[in-house]
Amino acid sequence: MSTSSIECRDETAEAARHHIRVTPVRGLPAGGGPRFGISGDIEMNSTTTTTKTRFKTGEESPWNAKYRFDGYLDGTWTPTPTPEEHEIELSVDENFPPIRSANKACWWKLHQRL
């Protein structure tokens, strides 16, 4: 199975860039034709809405939401965060925290928008 990368410019926002990965998926949908899985972040200028769902320590939350620990920035998963640190709730513009018990920066994944 191959993966293709596509980069395009939004004509209405010159600075906006979309990085999208399109991956063929085995099988056909009910209506026929190929299916594709799309992954990756769409990063746009500040006048648009983000579809990003993974954030790192220090970034600002774009939503009132619950987030779950999704690994450390150095690529490791240990030491395991405490139960209180595994899931957090942030308001818009609050910064994503590090895992204080490990004193390490980490990734946070969107779990539920509030």
Mean pLDDT, consecutive 10-residue segments, the chain of 114 residues? 44 39 52 52 48 95 97 96 96 97 97 95
Q: Is the dihedral of CA 38, 21, 8, 49 positive or negative?
A: positive
Are 37 and 21 a contacting pair, CB within 8 Å? no
The reported pLDDT for the residue numbered 29 is: 54
d(CA 65, CA 113): 4
Nearest alpha-carbon partner for 42 in 71, 64, 62: 62
For the entire predicted model, the pTM comes to 0.58
User: To which H or E segment does residue 86 belong?
Assistant: helix 83-86
The reported pLDDT for the residue numbered 94 is: 97
The reported pLDDT for the residue numbered 51 is: 84
Nearest alpha-carbon partner for 39 in 19, 58, 61: 19
- Domains in the chain: boundaries: 4-43, 54-113
